[in-house]
Structure 1
Amino acid sequence: MSSTDFYASLNAQLEGLLSGERDWLANTANASALLFMELPDVNWAGFYFLHGDELRVGPFQGKPACTRIPVGAGVCGTAVATGEAQLVEDVHEFPGHIACDAVSASEVVIPLYDGDRCLGVLDIDSPSVGRFSEQDLAGLKRFAEVLLHSSDLSGA
């Protein structure tokens, strides 16, 4: 299956899973479970939500995670500070990387926005260097759009 077909299928699954439900907590919990179940070679998939000048862990699948991440710190905090998705081939080469799980080797982080307001991030880690591609980034950005469109995340 091509990457395009894989993400079309994944995003269709998410749309079905969230159909008729707008609760942000339920939807982010199910979205993280779907990602963890369907994405090969990942060891963490979940969300951090912005509270003041820090991100706080939200629903996720994987090993226990860092509870709080300052804006600007690590890959997640950088995504919030810059407003741009982060595609990191080798987290050990990322300045200021926060090792919540020493096994993680690559990471993709997508900021979640409600208009101009950043709500938090979608964060996915892999134990393999170079696991994520530009096609993964595009598919996961669309995944985040589906989630944002289907959920009332402003209360997160």
Structure 2
Amino acid sequence: MKDEKENIEKKNFPREVINDVLRAGNWMHERETEHLKQYALSLEQYNVLVLLRKLDGEVVNMSTIQAGMISEMSNATRLVEKLRVKGYLTREQSQENRRKVEIKITQKGMLLLTDIDKTQKKHEKKVVKNLTSRELQTLSRLLNKMQIEK
């Protein structure tokens, strides 16, 4: 046991784990990006549409979208505008507060997500095919635990 601990410390194990997580994240991002290409959507645009669908047609503002983004670096305003131009959502100035913008998914956006749903499950299974259900649960728990700041 002592030898194992020394070997781990000598190998700079935390750095290796961090690199593995970063590589896995990049690999996952590439798979998702490739899958969404057929729908002419970026991963970030897809995430905005999924967020709006979860809100069940509710009108939301930019801060709600920003808070729901996977990547904090995403430019929500730019993403929303691209999706508006494609007809997947509406973006209107609030009548009550002229400084706020109200965003809502359109029927066209809902239909696109329904279309993506048809291939998404198969895609997800392909991406995680080397992991058991238990391993997926453990991985999810560990990744969430890692993100908790103390």
Whose RCO is larger (CA < 8 A, sep 6+)? 1
Which structure has the larger Rg over C-alpha atoms? 2
What's the TM-score bracket when you normalise by the shorter of the two chains? 0.3 to 0.5
Per the normalisation by structure 1, the TM-score is: 0.32
Per the normalisation by structure 2, the TM-score is: 0.33
Give the structure with the higher percent strand: 1
